[in-house]
Structures are given as structure tokens and as C-alpha cells.
Amino acid sequence: MTSLAKLNPPAHQPSAPFIVWPVARREFYLSIQFALLPAIVFAVVVFGWRVLAMLICAEIAAITMHAVLSRFTRRGKAMIYTHTTSAVVIMVALCEPFWPTWLVTIAAGLIPCVVWLIGGTGRERIHVAVVWAVLLQVVTTQMAYRTGEEHGSAILARDRLVMGDIRNAKDAPLYHWPVSSELGGDDAVRIALPQQVACESFDEISQTLRETEIRPDPTDRTRVLPPTTRAALQAYLDTVLSSRLPAIEMLIAGFVPGRIGCVCVPLLILGGLYLAYRYILRPKSVLLFLGAYGVGTAMLLFWPTAIGHLGLLGMWGAAKSMAGELVTLLEYAFFNSDVLFASIFVLALPGTQPLTRRGRRVFLVCAALLAAMIDRLNAGNLPAATASLCVFMPAAPMFDWMFAKRSWMSRGF
């Protein structure tokens, strides 16, 4: 005889459907940390001991707060240590190496508190770590503006790796990676971000094209620029590429200034391949996001005023005459941004993307185009790809609802 307990299950028993992760939650977050570890170690080498101190202090603060909440609150017992530590690693990877350690430590200590307030691990609609990284960028920018203290961007000298102080920096040409003796004994060389230099170059080209006189040539609208303007643009681009930007191999290898976990391209790709191997990351999502970001950046290369002045054919002719230089500048803007990091590690976090295939595609394209717009307007001062995903993350269920496949069987009667 069937008992009443079987016919009437307890009210607190969850109902189907049940969603089960392909790996255990602790193993999931440990895999993300393991994939990001090589990029963090490389940052310690290039940016020095301050990065290591920042990471250690942030982890201690977050783990301490996590332990207090787990010990004295019922909701805190459902929180997972690996979720807290991985959130701290992702936040630190999006920080800049010269940020105050105390500020990053306070932000890390608040991560478990916010997760506890919203109900525990797995209930956040938007990931606290990436939001904190964007807010830290805003706070540090305002602090630098109010105090007048500007650290700029720097990397350690060749003979001061790991043990050098990145705040002890001196100006020097970017194309030459010096040793400390060439810097008067300082530990680091202060140089501009390649992404910022590329965006400034695009602005200068747009300004020149907008102010140039159009040579009337009704037979060929692709050659409307006078020879003097072409020569001036070519001289400007040659100066930028030779004296203000590093060699392309230094850019790819990561020996350039940037965010802690975003500079070394090979290690980021290696981490992405590992996460894809563990079925944590969707490679198609990464490719779609990067492709849409690249298309959006290329579309925003010139300002509308310059296009309106020359016309589409005239702009095509102007861009065609310096196509090689423009592609090179796009490479510097692309690889020095946070788009590769966001497309791998932020998209790997659970709940970032919609569940349906069509909703996910539209979500990724919209987020990538917004990231390209932020990068173009903000010249690399914000982690644009991360900020864009923060904007769209809460709306992921709406994309599932709007772009789900409709069937006559699912209609309401």
C-alpha cells in the first residue's frame, strides 16, 4: 500500500525540472582559478611584488569575511569558499597594478557580504567580482582626479622583474625596453597604454580628414584627398608606430602596460582552451563575441563628421591608402583591451549568458557592440567588455524569453 507520505511529499521539497552542473560547483570555480593562474603569475613578473601583495591581502580579507558569515549565520553556511576565492582572483585580474592595495582589499572583503545579502552562491543575477572591478576603476579615477596624483601606466625594467616597485617609475621611450641603469636607478618605465595611443591616433586621423580640403574629381571619388594631406597622415602614422608603440611581439607576449590579468595573450588563450576542454566555456560564444567586437571597432574607426565630410567613397579611398597602418593600430587596440579576458573568463562564469541558442547569439552581439562603443569613446579608461557584460547580464532571461523558438504546442489556449 502506498503511504500518505509518498503521495503527499513535504512542502519544502523542490520540484522538477532539476538543473545539474556538468561538474561539481567547487571543481567548477577551481578550474577557473587554475586557468587564470598563469596570467596572474606573469603579471607578478612584469608588474612586480605589488600585484602579489594585492592578491594575498584581497584573498585574506575575503576568506576572513566568508569564515565569519559561515560560522555565525545560517545563510552563510550555504556559501562556497572556492566561489569567494575565484571572485577575488577575477577582480584582481581586472585591476591595474598601481591601484592602492587597501582599496582592493576592502572591495574583496565586501564580496562575501554582497553574496550573502543576495541569498548565497548561485543566486546572483550579476557577478559581484566584475561589478566591483568596474566600480574600482571609477573610484580610482576620481581619487586621482581629486588628489592630482597620476601614476599612469608602467612595466618593470628588464633587470627589476618580480622584485621591482612599479610606482618607482620614470618616463622613457616605449619602443626601447630599458634596464634600471638607463632609468637612473628607477625600477619601472612609465609608458602610455597601446590601446590609448591607438584610440588617440584614430581621433587625430578623423580630425585631419574632417578639416582637409576635398580635391574635386568627379571621375574617381576614391581619390579626393590632396597629396599634402596624404603625406601628413603617412608621416603621423610612421611616427606613432615607430616611437609610441611597442613591437607587435612585445604586445602579444604581454610586456606592455595594462590590467593585471589581461596583458599576456598566449596565457589567456591557453586558459580558454583549458576551460573549453573542461566543458566550462563555449568556444562558439567566445568567437562570436570577439568577432562582433572586432566588427564594431572597425565600424567606429572614424567619427561621423569625417565620414560626412568625405562621403562613403571618399572615406573608403582614404582608408584604403593607409589600410596597413589602420589594421596595425586595430591590433594594438584589440589585444591591449580586456575583451579577450572578458570573452574567456567572464563568459565562463555561470549565468552570464542566456540559455537558448538564439537568445545567446543576440546577447553576445549586443554586448560586444556596446563594448566596442565604450572602448572607442572612453579610450581604454574602463574595462569596456567587462562593463558591457555587466550591463547585459541581468537581462539574460529576457533574451531567452524574447528569442525562444515558438511552437504551436507551447501556445496558451
Q: Reduced to 3 states, what is the DSSP secondary structure of residue 163?
A: coil
Alpha carbon 55 to its chain centroid, in Å, reads 18
Label the pairing between strands 169-171 and 188-190. Answer: parallel
Q: For the chain, how many residues are written?
A: 413
C-alpha distances out from residue 221 to 34, 323, 329, Å? 55, 17, 25
Contact 391, 314 (CB under 8 A): no
pLDDT tens, residue order, the chain (413 aa)? 444 444 444 444 444 444 444 446 778 889 999 999 999 999 999 999 999 999 999 999 999 999 999 888 888 888 888 889 999 999 999 999 989 999 999 999 999 999 888 877 766 778 889 999 999 988 888 887 777 666 668 889 888 899 988 988 888 765 678 888 888 888 888 888 899 999 999 999 988 888 887 766 555 555 677 788 888 888 999 888 888 888 888 899 989 999 999 999 999 999 999 999 988 899 999 999 999 999 999 998 888 888 888 878 878 888 888 888 999 999 999 999 999 999 999 999 888 888 888 889 999 999 999 999 998 887 557 899 999 999 998 888 888 888 776 654 444 43
Q: Can you give the pLDDT at residue 217? A: 59
Q: What is the DSSP string of 96-138?
A: -TTS-HHHHHHHHHHHHHHHHHTTSTT--SS-HHHHHHHHHHH
Cα separation, 260 vs 403, in Å, equals: 37
Judge residue 370's burial from the number of C-beta atoms within 10 Å of its C-beta, 0-12 exposed, 13-18 middle, 19 or more buried: buried
Cα separation, 313 vs 382, in Å, equals: 33
Q: List CB contacts of 80: < 8 A, sequence separation 6 or more.
A: 25, 26, 29, 121
Q: Can you give the pLDDT at residue 19? A: 47
Q: Can you give the pLDDT at residue 410? A: 46
DSSP state of 244: I
Q: Can you give the pLDDT at residue 76? A: 82
Q: List CB contacts of 398: < 8 A, sequence separation 6 or more.
A: none
Cα separation, 302 vs 293, in Å, equals: 16
Segment (H or E) for 6: helix 4-7
List the helix and strand counts (H, then E) for the chain: 18, 3
C-alpha distances out from residue 326 to 96, 111, 330, 352, 386, Å? 27, 41, 6, 33, 25
Contact 74, 299 (CB under 8 A): no
pLDDT in tens, 61-99: 999 999 999 888 888 888 888 889 999 999 999 999 989
Contact 256, 250 (CB under 8 A): yes
Other Cβ atoms within 10 Å of 190 Cβ, number: 19
Q: Can you give the pLDDT at residue 175? A: 65
Cα separation, 362 vs 95, in Å, equals: 29
Q: Reduced to 3 states, what is the DSSP secondary structure of residue 78?
A: helix
Judge residue 253's burial from the number of C-beta atoms within 10 Å of its C-beta, 0-12 exposed, 13-18 middle, 19 or more buried: middle
Helix axes 101-117, 49-72, angle to 10 degrees: 30
